[in-house]
Amino acid sequence: MTDKTSRMPLPDALTEEAILAAIPDYRARGSRQAFLEHHGIRKGATSYFICYEGDCYDLKAIARVSLGRPQGRIGKSSEVAREISCLGLEGLRVVHRPSK
């Protein structure tokens, strides 16, 4: 049984400022794995990524850190990708790379 109460609604909580603050933190860790481990995120993205200034980042990890919920459930990757895309952040793209 899934605990639906643990999901934070995305539209009001996910902001441009929070996303743009999480990206330098990701970069500072030096690698995707180091970022995930630092924030206690067990599983990284398999198909959705945020691309910004020439680099791509784990979409759900960035979203979780942006929401202040690194270990929390935040919804399906496709939903998170749609919400981030709707923010219209200049220079930021959401990329879907289906896993094999």
Q: Which amino acid is at 42?
A: R
Please check the confidence at residue 31 and state whether its pLDDT lies above 70.
yes
CA dist 28 and 43 (Å) reads 20
CB atoms near residue 35 (< 10 Å): 23
Please check the confidence at residue 85 and state whether its pLDDT lies above 50.
yes
Please check the confidence at residue 37 and state whether its pLDDT lies above 50.
yes
pLDDT of amino acid 11 = 45
Q: Residue range 8-30: average pLDDT?
A: 83
Cβ contacts of 4 within 8 Å, gap of 6 or more? none
pLDDT of amino acid 13 = 73
Q: To the nearest whole percent, how much of the chain has pLDDT over 70?
A: 86
Q: Domain segments of the chain: what residues? A: 7-96
Q: Estimate to the nearest angstrom the gap between the alpha carbon of 100 and the chain centroid.
A: 21
Q: Residue range 47-73: average pLDDT?
A: 90
9 or 78, which is more confident: 78
The Cα-based distances of 38 to 20, 34, 98 in angstroms read 18, 6, 26
Instruction: Tell me the pLDDT tens digit for each residue of 63-74.
Output: 999 988 877 778
Helices (H), the chain: 10-13, 16-29, 32-38, 59-66, 77-86
pLDDT of amino acid 22 = 94
